[in-house]
Structure 1
Amino acid sequence: MDTVEVDGLRVAYRRAGQGPPLVLLHGAYEDSRVWDRQLDDLSDEFTVIAWDTPGCGGSDELPDGSVALGDILAGVLETLGLADGPQRAHVLGLSFGSGVALDLWRRHPEIPATLILASAYAGWAGSLPPEEVERRYAQASAELDKAPAEIIPVWLPTLLSERATESMKAQVARLFEDFRPAGMRSLLAASGRADYRPVLPTISVPTLLLYGSVDVRSPLTVAEEMHRRIPGSELMVLPDVGHLSFIEAPEAFDDAVRRWLHTHEG
């Protein structure tokens, strides 16, 4: 892993390959290791960079309420020379990471060359009924006081479809075993009630929405509303996979990302 420092905050990331830069933003309870397959598969044509969100993996904790994730990501990309000119990054945000991508656009719209929002929300509060937002917030808050072994069986059925193999389930479980409760608590406080609906109509770069057809966490109703609100966006649905479509159908996911980036390079 490599690290950069942004305003005194150490941010860890993994990097592979050469070519147009593609930045991968993971979901909650995860870190950059969740993208191992994509770092391998897509690095034949792209410079693939997967960060550890502050509070996750090898990155420092998120400062309490003082720094926005979009600003931190902008600082990382500026430090790596991926914030302007021909090396502007393509930004792919998964689930919680899609909120980070939208926060980057809201605060620094000059930076992303394109956006890929996978299993995405306009923030929980921007995509879900208020009672569901509060249910998820309360559930996640309570779980942070429990051992990973207690929460993994609760989460897995919401992240993977019934067709997921035991090795896929084990891959996700290993990441959950390593989550940092303090880090997740700060991320939940910072973003758990975010509402990015006002941001969506302002997006003016090419945007791909990539969803699994049987996702129960960000279902197709959410996908269709995101598609309706983001001008010129493209919605692609991967059949028979759930929230973590890139784990259940990595070939289809990577092929969709690759083909779409080829269309929008330069």
Structure 2
Amino acid sequence: MSITLETAPTLHVEAAGIRFAYRRLGPKTGIPLVLLQHFTGTMDAWDPLVVNALATDRPVIVFNNAGVGTSTGTVPDTVEQMAIDAETFIAALGLAEADLLGFSLGGFLAQVLAPRTKVKIRKIIIAGSAAKGGEEHLLQVVEDAFAKGARDVRLPLFFTPSQSSQDAGGAFIDRAAARTVERDPDSGEAVSNPQAKAIIGWCAETDPGHASLQAIRQPALIVHGSDDTMFPSINAYEMFKNTPDATLIIYPDSGHGALFQYPETFVSHVKTFLDA
């Protein structure tokens, strides 16, 4: 039986005094796709449908960055240090080359990692994210989402109020809960507080001429929801316009979690992009 996100054993690698927890699935050979997770998210917050489908024809690696979930260390309060920690993890695995898929906060990390040289990055996918100096409404949107009293805060946080989006959100929540063994603990304030500071700081920092985006020479696929309240879709357009080799896809009637609302479509787009 093939290994899935729901069944993959949790592995560990130590580097720079941090014991990183990760899971690996898919074939043994090929350029690995490393997944960079959203605000407060752990390995178990990924959509198994997305991860398993991506892993049918390439190695896929999910991990908990420093201080998150079952990884040791402390969560930094800057995007740059989070990116360095992620780079340390990727290098510790001995990967000669990797592709990156960064969702939300993970998309910030992908932007920082792409121009760096310690790890060779081939292509990047940025979903539901923003460039340095971008528009964010993190704290207000999270507060509003909790106030709605939904069965899972991700329903109002990641999906639009439409019935079809909420139905897709409910299906995602069920899929994400499927793993029952070695589940990561939910994140508390030791994760959320520094990560929130990092996100707000990243978006508050001006970046004249979009120098950070201009430095990304790799092909980039930018994916966004049409009605993302946390990072409005203008962010995706700004990234698209200022990244030298970027493709932009915006999904209809979708919020921050568009990649989980349209899992099959998203996987198809990612595979087409990575295989091109």
Which 5+ residue runs of structure 1 have no aligned equivalent?
A: none
Are 1:217 and 1:243, in contact at CA under 8 Å, matched by a contact in 2? Answer: yes
Are 2:226 and 2:251, in contact at CA under 8 Å, matched by a contact in 1? Answer: yes
RMSD: 3.2
Are 2:159 and 2:256, in contact at CA under 8 Å, matched by a contact in 1? Answer: yes
Greater Cα offset, 254-263 or 241-250: 241-250
Secondary structure of residue in 1 paired with 2:69: coil
Match of 2:104 in 1: 95
Q: Which has the higher contact order (CA 8 A, sep 6+)?
A: 2
| Cα shift at 1:237 | 1.8
Which 5+ residue runs of structure 2 have no aligned equivalent?
A: 1-9
Match of 2:193 in 1: 185
- What's the TM-score, normalizing by structure 2? 0.78
Match of 1:215 in 2: 228
Match of 1:158 in 2: 157
Match of 2:91 in 1: 78
Secondary structure of residue in 2 paired with 1:261: helix
Greater Cα offset, 25-34 or 169-178: 169-178
Evaluate the alpha carbon distance shift between residue 73 and residue 108 of structure 1 in structure 2; reply closer, same or farther with a 3 A threshold: farther
Q: Deviations over 1:118-169 (max 9, x none)?
A: 111114xx111xxxx5x645887x89xxx99979766632311232223334
Are 1:55 and 1:184, in contact at CA under 8 Å, matched by a contact in 2? Answer: no
Are 1:238 and 1:252, in contact at CA under 8 Å, matched by a contact in 2? Answer: no
Secondary structure of residue in 2 paired with 1:44: coil
2:59 to 42, 47, 50: 47
Q: Deviations over 1:79-124 (max 9, x none)?
A: 1122x3xxx100010001111112223544752111111111114x
Cα distance in 1 for residues equivalent to 2:148 and 2:42: 18
| Cα shift at 1:5 | 1.3
Name the aligned partner's letter for residue 158 of structure 1.
Answer: L
Greater Cα offset, 230-239 or 188-197: 188-197
1:204 to 207, 214, 217: 217
| Cα shift at 1:184 | 1.9
- What's the TM-score, normalizing by structure 1? 0.80
Name the % identity: 27
Greater Cα offset, 213-222 or 9-18: 213-222
More helix by share: 1
Name the aligned partner's letter for residue 70 of structure 2.
Answer: G
